[in-house]
Amino acid sequence: MADPELSDIERRMNGAVEALRREFAGLRTGRASAALLEPLTVDAYGSKMPINQVGTIGVPDPRMLTVQVWDQSQVGAVEKAIRDSGLGLNPQTEGNVIRVPIPQLTEERRVELTKVANKYAEQARVAVRNVRRDGIDRFRKMEKGGEISQDEQRAWSTEIQQLTDTTIAAIDDALSTKESEILQV
């Protein structure tokens, strides 16, 4: 009975790590990556749409991104979304193609990006701890309801804590890798 509960907890913790990796992919490291623009939304057709639903993101070289906008009327909205994204990018429009040069990162900007990476990692840690708390509470309720014994509840709680420790270690590893990537000149 408890194994499906534990696999659900593990799935949710791994989801937090995957969400962190997606957020890290959007952090600039001085090299062009399509993942940099993917989280952006564009005001198009009366609603907010992901940028990859109004155009194709390309990486022609390590210092340049391009967005091939499918509808000419949306070029301005896409350009505005990139400019207002807070990524420090300055798009240039050429017809339906928006070119986005990736500038060299300054030391100050690198430090700022490591702080953002730390914030993302802390959010992931909090999410994992919340999953741990929910899991332990679930097993406590099962114990109170007489479904499992007190010893079983303690054993499951210990296993959940070990899973939490492993997941937080994975988050810390991802953070240190991203920090070294950002600070690399």
pLDDT in tens, the chain (185 residues): 467 888 899 999 999 999 998 888 777 666 777 877 887 889 888 889 888 889 999 988 888 889 999 988 888 998 988 888 777 788 999 988 999 888 777 888 788 888 888 999 999 999 999 999 999 999 999 889 988 888 988 999 999 999 999 999 999 999 999 888 888 76
CATH number for domain 2-25+106-183, candidates 1.10.132.20, 2.60.40.1660, 3.40.50.2300, 3.50.50.60:
1.10.132.20
Where do we find the tokens 């896409």? 78
pTM: 0.70
What's residue 28's pLDDT? Answer: 66
Backbone angles phi, psi at 48, to 5 degrees: -90, 130
> What confidence score (pLDDT) does residue 1 get?
46
Measured distance between the N- and C-terminal CA atoms of the chain, rounded to whole angstroms? 52
Contact 104, 31 (CB under 8 A): no
* pLDDT score of 3: 78
Count other Cβ atoms within 10 Å, centred on residue 139: 23
Question: Nearest-CA neighbor of 52 among 42, 43, 62?
Answer: 42
User: Residue 145 phi/psi, 5° resolution?
Assistant: -80, -5
Q: Domain 34-101 falls in which CATH fold?
A: Gyrase A; domain 2 (3.30.1360)
Q: Tell me, what's the pLDDT at 169?
A: 95
Instruction: Report whether 89 contacts 81 (CB < 8 A).
Output: no
- CA gap 131, 179 in Å, rounded: 26
Residue 70: name the closest of 54, 47, 87 by CA: 54
**Domain boundaries, given as residue ranges, for the chain:** 2-25+106-183, 34-101
CA angle 87, 91, 93 (to 5 degrees): 160
Q: How far is the CA of 91 from the CAs of 47, 106, 136, in angstroms?
A: 22, 19, 49
